[in-house]
Structure 1
Amino acid sequence: MSTGDEELAKDLGPLAALTIGVGTMIGAGIFVLPGNAIEQAGWFAVVSFLLGGGIALLTALSASELGTAMPRSGGAYFYVNRALGPLFGSIAGWANWLGLAFASAFYMVGFGEYIRVIFGLTGPLMVGPIALPAVKTIAFLGGALFVAVNYIGAKETGRLQNIIVILLVAILAVFTVVGALRADPANLPPSKGFGPMMTTTGLIFVSYLGFVQITSVAEEIQEPGKNLPRAVIGSVLLVSVIYALVLIVMAAAVEQGFIAEQQVAGNIAVVEVGRLILGPAGAIALLIGGLLATASSANASILASSRINFAMGRDRILTPTINEVHPRFGTPYRAIAITGALILGFIVAGNVELLATLGSVLHLVIYGLLNIALIVMREANVADYDPSFTVPLYPFTPILGALTSFALIAFINPTVVLICGGLVAAAIVWYLGYARTRTEAMGELSEFILSRSESMPDAAVSTAESVRPDGGRHRVMVPLANPQHEENLITLASAVAKHHGGIVDAVHIVTVPDQTSLEYAADHIGDHEEDYDALLDGAREHAEALGVDIETHTILSHRGFEEIFDAARSHEADTVVMGWGPDAHGSPGRAESAFGEMTTELPADFLVVKDRGFDPERVLVPTRGGAGSAYAADVASVLQEEYGSEITLLHVADSESTGEEFLTEWAEERGLSDATIRVESGDTKEEIVRAAEDASLVIIGASEQGLLVRLFRGSPAQQIVEEVDSSVILAEKSHGRSLLDRLLSR
């Protein structure tokens, strides 16, 4: 299994990097959409393509600076996540991933259309006894092929792109040169105004999705500081020129009305223009060109999109298991497989216009965020931000890039914008519901705001606090009930939290009679708990004095002890530190109640404290080698780190020599080789009680006896707690056990 530190081989040279961008952009956008563009905007379609290229160029400049400063797999997603934080990173990641998947499906449907025309398919394809739409079937099979090509590796993908793009540019060069000789300004269709031109720009912007994807494979580019800006900016300029020349030829080399006739007839307009100006050979060349163009777009998009979810997995916005790299091919094969499945699903479910415009809107969102990310990285004075290429005319360039990207969305089909808005909202929900508790990096924007909280607006600070990730912060929940034990519980919790770089979550559970509604109790809480907030105020003051971050909560419930487990789940606690009640919570020797043990799993690690004064100077840890005592040893290590505790490890064995050998090895495995080793023979409980006379604190791993055994025989841990004079901590790891194990295990 790979880890979040997986690296990808640098297999892509400068030409391969350039052709990823050019190959992604010169696709269905230039071989399918020009006819629609001319019909919608007249000769202003040329302006639409140039305007789209201008917007793309602004973002390409920002992407080049960010890419040279941070050449990491993930491209735009990574930059937004690093600068704006994982909330916006989730939006950018999902938008980039799904946007490329939509675009890939769009390109493959275009691929299927060209295959249909080349082979003269007029009806459905028969696959055995089933009749399937020819275009969709071909698109599906072609998509599966390109997913397989990307599965093999980036080097093979780069070589394929080189061949496809060079042939494609050669075909378009012949088309534009010969077409320019026939061009007549009198043939230009009349302009249809500014509004249709902007709408057309939104439609054809799918043609400019490729350049940022070069940064998605930045980790695989040789000499990224030099080759990445050349590839990003060069691909936009090259493609913009090609688009403008092709549009001029299509608009001026044929008589007015010709494009409209081809659109009505369902023909591919660029192919029919080629037939008119170059003859049958020209039509064949452009059919081959269209086939290569759609194939190269899909191929490059699959390559880039699979790297997006690879990067999201690395940052734990998706599960890190998606990061596994193939041992032979060196590619993130799981990410590629998932992306491929999405693309094939979109091919089956979507139509050309929907897929194209969905890809456009999602990428405009990303481009806007990317330009803002550049501004944040500059203004926050990030220490390791040292790009080898810098944006000219800063901050004008990224500001204009962000504004134009977001503004263009307003001219796209409202239904598509609504769908994309739903996807953005889903990405936010995904972050808040899943990724926030798993991802670690906070983002430079939040760091900047929170580090200047006294001078920042309260709304900004509050927002930054509310969305900050806590997946990297160990959460230690402390249920509080008795002010006499509050300080010691918070002290222990703070030590655990400090060791893990975490946070203390103090929870006061107020038990309300079943006859009283929780709503009424919330309005009359003083009737149920006098000075209910004093307990949490004291906990906050004590934790802050120990230098640990703390959150406090009051929970009203009809249940008492059982509510602790629900709170641990809802607060996503990693560790729970709680007091040992007089009745041991109905389950001697365990942190769970007798009823809860029958119905629930232990939701976190538990430290249950029998408090007789917290003194971690001399800590005794009895062990028989089980999981419970291993966790007890871990807790002792935390106390040693925080308070310099002297640790004694006790093992009761039949043979002193065998027991000493076992205990020495056990201590070394847990980093406690400096602990005092004590081996005794005799009754385990009596030896623990005797050894505890020299200890100020005893930490015991929780009994693994089952429920019935404990109920009928009692618990050794409970007996030890009653007989020793020092405080005792019962340590139990989070676990899940079957009902049979819970009842009968020994």
Structure 2
Amino acid sequence: MSLASNLLRVKPAEQLTGEGSHTELKRTLGLVPLVALSVGATLGTGIFVVLADAAPTAGPAVVYSFVLAGIAALCSALSYAELAGSVPVSGSAYSYTYATLGELIAWVCGWCLLLEYGVSVAAVAVGWGGYLNEFFQGTIGLRIPEALSAPPGEGGMINIPAAFVVLLAMGVLLLGVRESARATTIATLIKIGVLLFFVAVAATAFNSGNMTPFAPEGLAGISAGASLAFFSFIGFDAASTAGEEARDPKRDLPRAIMISLLIVTAIYVLVSLTAVGAVGTERLAEAKASLAMVLDTVTQQAWPSIVLALGAVIAIASVVLTVLYGQTRILVSMSRDGLMPPVLSRVNHRRIPARNTLIVGILVAVLASAIPLSRLAEATSIGTLTAFGLVNIGVIVLRYRRPELQRSFRTPLMPFVPLLGVVLCGYLITGLAVVTWIVFGIWMVVGLAVYFLYGMRRSKLNESDSEPESTV
């Protein structure tokens, strides 16, 4: 085959689905655990960590920033839902683009997902330490020294809490998918309860004066805030990484994606509105554990912020767990296709990819211990927006190339909704800092080098006949 043919060859949807139906992974997850997986991977990331960064940029209109980011996520979620019901495997956007846009684009998408999942785990882990300190301060009057709880560049030497929570999540994943799903469901219910508690308390101090000027930097400020806020929607696609561990993936994956996004968006809007209304955007920007500060200000008592801090510790730990899970399952798919080393797809007696989980967990723990949060959050957003844009294009391609393919969910208003998703993803990418683009460019150069030197040569499609499979 020519170089161009190799780069554009696709893996037929039936082949992907067939491999997924004979998976070595264990099918144990129903609709509720899948919703908990997606909500668990999403809820808490932005509200507990990023709100303080987005609020000064957008002003009180940060509420609109979350809505705009939610609309962008919704367009992509509809595309994810259709593809998850059509190609129910563990690779998420990577597998979807492999079935639609060709091997090279699939590799690019998978490489972006590795950035999204791996770096977002590290970013969330960094934010976990702030709330852990808040909890310790409120209960036993002690704080972890900054030298041991902040990375270089932010006043510290190493972020031990961030590394610890990643290794803790790794340990839970090694117990098995059923145990991980149970822990995720419990943690998700706790975090929803804690955030609703925050809304109820903060609403009692709502001051309309804190909402003016509403949009001090106009649409530019809202869109820049949305670019940051989009980080808080990363994870709704986590259910799609469980395609080979869901009991009825064609039915449950689309439902889980849509239900989780609706839950998350509603809570984000309520929390951001009541937080800004209670203390204003300037106060939010001053505190790392910003929501705990809001409760301190509103109640003038310690116990509400202690409750919130404990909820945040549990919530953010569950995000680390679920996103780390997604990272390992994407690597399983890439490894099974030959584009990554085979060790990453081998499973143990518990039918989990143990070596994969150990490798990813240790690497992410090192990353979380040494890199500042702001750089991690933006790097995550650019990888995610790129992957989402490719999924939106992929659903259009598959709909028109394979109209007869069985779909348990169909994206409405085709192709308008996916095209809007592409436009919104591109629009939000433009709001990211130049240094983020530089880091992303370096990451992609490294990724392409890995593909051409390793992945393209070892692709399992090389073993198949050279007939034109590449036209799905």
TM interval, shorter chain, is: 0.7 to 0.9
* 1:118 Cα deviation after fit: 1.9
1:506 is matched with: none
2:59 is matched with: 42
1:210 aligns with 2:235: yes
* 1:320 Cα deviation after fit: 2.3
2:230 corresponds to which letter in structure 1? F
* SS at structure 1 position matched to 2:159: helix
1:424 is matched with: 444
1:299 aligns with 2:321: yes
1:557 is matched with: none
Aligned-pair identity in percent equals 29
Q: Which runs of 5 or more structure 1 residues have no equivalent in the other structure?
A: 442-470, 474-500, 504-746
Give the Cα separation in 2 of the matches to 1:425 and 1:189.
45
Counting only pairs closer than 5 Å after superposition, residues 104-143 of structure 1 correspond to structure 2 as: 104-119=121-136, 120-121=142-143, 123-124=145-146, 133=156, 136-143=159-166
2:463 is matched with: 472
1:222 aligns with 2:247: yes
1:398 is matched with: 418
Check 1:141–1:90 CA distance in 2 against 1; reply closer, same or farther (3 A cut).
same
Give the Cα separation in 2 of the matches to 1:301 and 1:122.
26
1:376 is matched with: 397
1:324 corresponds to which letter in structure 2? R
Q: With CA pairs under 8 Å and 6+ residues apart, which has the higher RCO, 1 or 2?
A: 2
Contact 1:206 1:359 in 2 (8 A): yes
* 1:280 Cα deviation after fit: 2.1
Give the Cα separation in 2 of the matches to 1:135 and 1:15.
38
Deviations 1:488-525 (A, max 9, x none): xxxxxxxxxxxxx469xxxxxxxxxxxxxxxxxxxxxx
Deviations 1:590-611 (A, max 9, x none): xxxxxxxxxxxxxxxxxxxxxx
1:155 corresponds to which letter in structure 2? R
1:316 aligns with 2:307: no
Give the Cα separation in 2 of the matches to 1:72 and 1:103.
22
Deviations 1:556-589 (A, max 9, x none): xxxxxxxxxxxxxxxxxxxxxxxxxxxxxxxxxx
Contact 1:112 1:135 in 2 (8 A): no
Contact 2:158 2:370 in 1 (8 A): no
1:364 is matched with: 385
* 1:337 Cα deviation after fit: 1.7
1:334 aligns with 2:355: yes
Corresponding residue pairs, total: 435
1:534 is matched with: none
Give the Cα separation in 2 of the matches to 1:122 and 1:330.
38
* 1:435 Cα deviation after fit: 1.4
1:69 is matched with: 86
CA RMSD of aligned residues (A): 2.2
1:59 corresponds to which letter in structure 2? S
Give the Cα separation in 1 of the matches to 2:442 and 2:426.
16
Q: More helix by proportion, 1 or 2?
A: 2
Check 1:79–1:267 CA distance in 2 against 1; reply closer, same or farther (3 A cut).
closer
Counting only pairs closer than 5 Å after superposition, residues 74-85 of structure 1 correspond to structure 2 as: 74-85=91-102
Contact 1:121 1:134 in 2 (8 A): no
* SS at structure 2 position matched to 1:253: helix
Give the Cα separation in 1 of the matches to 2:145 and 2:367.
22
Give the Cα separation in 2 of the matches to 1:88 and 1:158.
31
Return 86-95 or 181-190, whichever deviates more: 181-190
1:165 corresponds to which letter in structure 2? T
* SS at structure 1 position matched to 2:449: helix
* 1:430 Cα deviation after fit: 2.3
1:287 to 289, 309, 316: 309
* SS at structure 2 position matched to 1:198: helix
Deviations 1:411-465 (A, max 9, x none): 1011112211222233233222221122144xxxxxxxxxxxxxxxxxxxxxxxx
* SS at structure 1 position matched to 2:227: helix
Give the Cα separation in 2 of the matches to 1:140 and 1:28.
17
Deviations 1:522-552 (A, max 9, x none): xxxxxxxxxxxxxxxxxxxxxxxxxxxxxxx
Give the Cα separation in 2 of the matches to 1:261 and 1:44.
15
* 1:186 Cα deviation after fit: 2.6
* 1:230 Cα deviation after fit: 1.7
* SS at structure 2 position matched to 1:220: coil
2:434 corresponds to which letter in structure 1? P
* 1:124 Cα deviation after fit: 4.7
* 1:251 Cα deviation after fit: 1.2
* 1:16 Cα deviation after fit: 1.1
1:88 aligns with 2:88: no
1:218 corresponds to which letter in structure 2? G
* 1:122 Cα deviation after fit: 5.5
| 4+ residue segments displaced more than 3 Å | 3-6, 124-127, 132-135, 261-264
* SS at structure 1 position matched to 2:236: coil
Return 68-77 or 342-351, whichever deviates more: 342-351
Give the Cα separation in 2 of the matches to 1:291 and 1:321.
33
* SS at structure 2 position matched to 1:84: coil
1:245 aligns with 2:270: yes
Contact 1:86 1:439 in 2 (8 A): no
Greater C-alpha Rg = 1
Contact 2:35 2:257 in 1 (8 A): yes
1:15 is matched with: 32
Q: Which runs of 5 or more structure 2 residues have no equivalent in the other structure?
A: 1-18, 137-141, 150-154, 468-472
Give the Cα separation in 2 of the matches to 1:395 and 1:146.
39
2:365 to 344, 364, 383: 344
2:432 is matched with: 412
Check 1:344–1:122 CA distance in 2 against 1; reply closer, same or farther (3 A cut).
closer
* SS at structure 2 position matched to 1:420: helix
Deviations 1:163-191 (A, max 9, x none): 11101111111221232243232321421
Q: TM-score scaled by structure 2?
A: 0.87
Counting only pairs closer than 5 Å after superposition, residues 192-211 of structure 1 correspond to structure 2 as: 192=216, 193-211=218-236
Check 1:502–1:14 CA distance in 2 against 1; reply closer, same or farther (3 A cut).
closer
1:268 aligns with 2:289: yes
Give the Cα separation in 1 of the matches to 2:298 and 2:28.
41
Give the Cα separation in 2 of the matches to 1:212 and 1:422.
25
1:184 is matched with: 207
Counting only pairs closer than 5 Å after superposition, residues 625-704 of structure 1 correspond to structure 2 as: none
Give the Cα separation in 1 of the matches to 2:185 and 2:158.
26
